[in-house]
Chain A
Amino acid sequence: MTPERWQQVESLFQSAFEREPNQRAAFLAAACAGDLSLQSEVESLLAADERAAGVIDSPVFRVAAELFMDDDARSAVGRRIGAYRIVGEINHGGMGIVYLAARADEQYEKQVALKLIKRGMDTDAILRRFRHERQILASLEHPNIARLLDGGTTEDSLPYFVMEYIEGQPIDKYCDRHKLTIIERLKLFRTVCSAVHYAHQNLVVHRDLKPSNILVTADGVPKLLNPELSAETGELTATVLRLMTPEYASPEQVRGEKITMASDIYSLGVVLYELLTGHRPYRIKSRLLHEIARVICETEPEKPSTAISRVEEVTGTDGTGRVKLTPERVSQTREGQAEKLRRQLKGDLDNIVLKALRKEPQRRYVSVEQFAEDIRRHLDGLPVIARKDTLSYRTSKFIQRNKLAVTASALFVVTGLSGAAATSWQARVAKIERAKAEALAAKSQRRFIAGRTGDYVLVADSSSLNPSDAMTVELWFTASPTGVYQFLINKFNSNNGRAGFPADDSYAVYITPAGGLMWQVETMAGGSVADNVLYADPPASILDGQFHHLAATYDSAAAEMRIYLDGRALPANLIGASHRAAGPVVGTSTELMLGGGLIESVQTYFQKGLLDEVRIYNRALSAEEVRAVYSSPASALPGLASWWRGEGDAKDSVGGNHGTLMGDATFAPGKAGQAFSFGVR
């Protein structure tokens, strides 16, 4: 480009930039007067501008600092640490570097892996955590996790620890070299899961699961390397990310958010994807952090069964040449024929892998154990938990996409989901999406509580009481005095037990005013599987903006509920014939209580917050009894409801400091719906 041309481009860029975004295209078209290359030049710059925000805005210092950190890794080789001599570098972890080392006194021939905290990272806080990590690792004893052998402090008081050095191949290479079939790969992967699950039970989150951290020994035993600690990742996240391989990082990891066990599940999903298909779920070509984050957070991975048809060039595993991945090539090391491989992956395995790879942590498997169990079910020919994307998910997406329209019209969509219960979820979603706001009117009057208090409206309810209906969908919103909306979507199907929809299938999706998914409840068939997830993403503001990353899992088969607050596990709570109150939540002053009857009846739990507020996070239903107590803090926040329901009919109870009953719904046997609003009159 000539400087003159550039001047022209720049001046148009500046003029366009001063205009409203929606007027830029028209402005440019007019200004360029048919000079299409000029126009596209300016347009591409405008597009780049949107994505470039923040890219080089902070000075080079961080980059500089990281460059120097890398140097340090090299300078340690040859050094003696404790009884060990550093022989070489193995790899980088989040805050330490792993070296290959040998006993300096040559007492043993054996080589070990020595992990040393990086210089420059030796602040008090990090040192504390490093020691903590050492302690945790010492407690991990599992045949598939590299053992901790020793630990100490260097002369300049940096802590280090010494681990079993595993001689083996990265799991992906191992599988290819031995031409393991899909079934053999799945079995091997399940062993890896058992190690990760064991670590999770000990509150250790690995955070950097990738093939090169999962070595398989010559005897075919997988060994997990470099688990890191579970405690808050906080300020280190950016560095951790920078040092890890972006392809295996979960969306929350690349966004610098809290890393939890769900992040490991995601990374395991990437590993499995790769083991099954030979491809990675995302093709990340850019080195720009922003681009990497965009791809991981915004694009949907291809199904494994179709990914194998992809033809792409990747860097060979020996790091030298380029390797062209073709369907023939990936099936050659797996099932022989591409078509056979495709058939094997299609369906269950597609669903299993994609469930682990979901963007939202709460929509992945609730535990690695569940992930592994689903693979086992697949291997045994049993139905698996993983399903295609569900209605609740799609609906929440729909709401996010249509938030503006919804707010503007203060109307919502009517859906009619009666009858054809056997049609797919997707079909239903399509139906929902087709329905536009203006279609609302008449139907919404059928069962509604509109205007009851002026701030709570059941906008649409397509349910009919016809017992042949498979389900009902109710969409609600409340409008707060500040004009924001909370959406509550409740769907409960009736007990017709129709094929395809388990009798107890139910959904509740709570959408935050910001359009984020606050809370989603999914339960499935006859108590066999339940997946009850409570999560805030993005951190939702319900009462006071203090609602952060709360996650619960509920396993009705085990009659057990686990609540995670800020990613930490709580003591499990048993819900049986008797009610039990849980102890204080780990690490916070939160108190959690559970009340309820039988497994499938009621779970009502509420939380006592830091400011002595009682917040409500759950609601429940049952065919026999519904009981949900929504209690507000004694002081400032009125407006929560208390509900009691006996068999077949609804009644409400308002009293004490429970606040005001906000609304009621007509309950039919087997159906229940309730809603509440927070912080409004």
Chain B
Amino acid sequence: MSTPSSEDITRLLQEWSDGDQTALTKLMPLVYDELRRLAHRYMAQERSDHTLQTTALVHEAYLRLVGQKDVQWQNRAHFFAVSAQLMRRILVDHARTQHAAKRGGGGLKLSLDEAANVPYEPAAELIALDEALTKLADIDRRKSRIVELRFFGGLTLDEVAEMLSVSSPTVMRQWRVARAWLYREMDKEDHHDA
């Protein structure tokens, strides 16, 4: 596959944000590959010098893909909102696939039977969060957006505040209650699950 041009991606992003779902299916593999590459680098860097990347992975991925100067969005806010949403979609879909493969055996696990153990699984946690977030959106759309921007979009609370044109303390308060709500919801699911 040839390397997609920034224009392609920008266009697809724009189309998707305009409601064209087929744009998303074209977009995902492109972004996925880039993310994967960056994820490796992220891991390697984090391990070696033990500093967390301040440049968030998502920003980097999108900026690299789209090219900062080519961003044709009306405003940054819209761009990051779409980015965060896309990140959520990609990661959660990916987590679901992986989770299903593990549960279903997939023929990869051999004689050592790990199935009896329920190890910590990032995939499972991500799926649970996604589900809880969807429920939160039903009762409080704004808070689910804050979480999406912060967790999936990698924005700081200050950036989120700026984007939503409210004060940082306000966002902080809303973040806090959203986080508590999500935690409780995820915990609840676990118990039902067990």
Q: Are A59 and B57 in contact (CB under 8 A)?
A: yes
Q: Are A49 and B40 in contact (CB under 8 A)?
A: no
Q: Are B125 and A52 in contact (CB under 8 A)?
A: no
Candidates B36, B47, B56, B58; contact of A125 at CB < 8 Å: B47
Q: Are B43 and A65 in contact (CB under 8 A)?
A: yes
Q: Are A170 and B176 in contact (CB under 8 A)?
A: no
- A169 CB → nearest B CB, Å: 8
Chain B residue at minimal CB-CB distance from A53: B179
> CB of B124 within 8 A of chain A?
yes
Q: Which residues of A contact B46 (CB under 8 A)?
A: 62, 65
> CB of B44 within 8 A of chain A?
yes
Q: Are B47 and A236 in contact (CB under 8 A)?
A: yes
Candidates B91, B110, B182; contact of A56 at CB < 8 Å: B182
- B1 CB → nearest A CB, Å: 17
Count, A-B residue pairs, CB within 8 A: 200
Q: Are A67 and B44 in contact (CB under 8 A)?
A: no
> CB of A430 within 8 A of chain B?
no
Q: Give A57 to B156 CA distance when docked, in angstroms.
A: 10
Chain B residue at minimal CB-CB distance from A212: B112
Q: Are B139 and A242 in contact (CB under 8 A)?
A: no
Q: Are B113 and A318 in contact (CB under 8 A)?
A: yes
Candidates B36, B128, B193; contact of A285 at CB < 8 Å: B193
Q: A61-B56, A64-B35, A125-B47 in contact; A212/B113 too (CB < 8 A)?
A: yes
Q: Are A288 and B44 in contact (CB under 8 A)?
A: no
> CB of A210 within 8 A of chain B?
yes
Q: Give A339 to B40 CA distance when docked, in angstroms.
A: 55
Chain B residue at minimal CB-CB distance from A239: B47
Q: Are A6 and B140 in contact (CB under 8 A)?
A: yes
- B183 CB → nearest A CB, Å: 4
Chain B residue at minimal CB-CB distance from A323: B116
> CB of A68 within 8 A of chain B?
yes
**Central interface residue in A1, A61, A119, by most chain B CB within 10 Å:** A61
Q: Which residues of B contact A57 (CB under 8 A)?
A: 179
Of A85-93, A497-505, A652-660, the one with at least 4 CB within 8 A of chain B: A85-93
Chain A residue at minimal CB-CB distance from B174: A10
Of A40-48, A324-332, A453-461, A541-549, the one with at least 4 CB within 8 A of chain B: A40-48
Q: A74-B108, A245-B117, A285-B193 in contact; A121/B43 too (CB < 8 A)?
A: yes
Q: Are A286 and B57 in contact (CB under 8 A)?
A: no
Candidates B50, B56, B113, B139; contact of A2 at CB < 8 Å: B139
Q: Give A314 to B118 CA distance when docked, in angstroms.
A: 10
Q: Which residues of B contact A45 (CB under 8 A)?
A: 177, 180-181, 184
Chain A residue at minimal CB-CB distance from B32: A68
Q: Are A288 and B58 in contact (CB under 8 A)?
A: no
Q: Are A212 and B117 in contact (CB under 8 A)?
A: yes
> CB of B53 within 8 A of chain A?
yes
Q: Are B56 and A59 in contact (CB under 8 A)?
A: yes
Q: Which residues of A contact B69 (CB under 8 A)?
A: none
> CB of B39 within 8 A of chain A?
yes
> CB of B89 within 8 A of chain A?
no
> CB of B77 within 8 A of chain A?
no
**Central interface residue in B150, B179, B180, by most chain A CB within 10 Å:** B180
Q: Are A287 and B44 in contact (CB under 8 A)?
A: no
**Central interface residue in A49, A91, A287, by most chain B CB within 10 Å:** A287
Q: Which residues of B contact A311 (CB under 8 A)?
A: none
Q: Are A242 and B47 in contact (CB under 8 A)?
A: no
Q: A10-B177, A55-B179, A59-B56 in contact; A121/B151 too (CB < 8 A)?
A: no
**Central interface residue in B42, B154, B177, B186, by most chain A CB within 10 Å:** B177
Q: Give A319 to B176 CA distance when docked, in angstroms.
A: 38
Q: Are A90 and B180 in contact (CB under 8 A)?
A: no
> CB of A58 within 8 A of chain B?
yes
Q: Are B56 and A67 in contact (CB under 8 A)?
A: no
Chain A residue at minimal CB-CB distance from B153: A59
> CB of A17 within 8 A of chain B?
yes
Candidates A52, A59, A289, A316; contact of B152 at CB < 8 Å: A59
Q: Are A315 and B115 in contact (CB under 8 A)?
A: yes
Chain B residue at minimal CB-CB distance from A4: B139
- B118 CB → nearest A CB, Å: 7
Q: Which residues of B contact A100 (CB under 8 A)?
A: 110
> CB of A611 within 8 A of chain B?
no
Candidates B56, B115, B186; contact of A288 at CB < 8 Å: B186
Q: Are A212 and B114 in contact (CB under 8 A)?
A: yes
Q: Which residues of B contact A246 (CB under 8 A)?
A: 119-120
Q: Give A258 to B28 CA distance when docked, in angstroms.
A: 40
Binding site for A on B (CB under 8 A): 35-36, 39-40, 42-44, 46-48, 50, 52-53, 56-58, 87, 91, 94-95, 98, 105, 107-126, 128-129, 139-140, 147, 150-154, 173, 176-177, 179-184, 186-187, 190-191, 193-194
A-B contacts, 7 of them at CB < 8 A, read: A10-B140, A68-B40, A69-B43, A89-B109, A170-B112, A286-B190, A319-B115
| Minimum-distance CB pairs A-B, first 9 | A319-B115, A52-B183, A285-B194, A49-B180, A48-B184, A123-B48, A59-B154, A120-B40, A65-B39
Extra inter-chain contacts (14) besides given A1-B139, A59-B152, A120-B39, CB under 8 Å? A6-B139, A13-B180, A14-B177, A17-B176, A45-B184, A59-B154, A63-B125, A64-B57, A91-B114, A119-B40, A170-B113, A287-B120, A288-B190, A319-B116
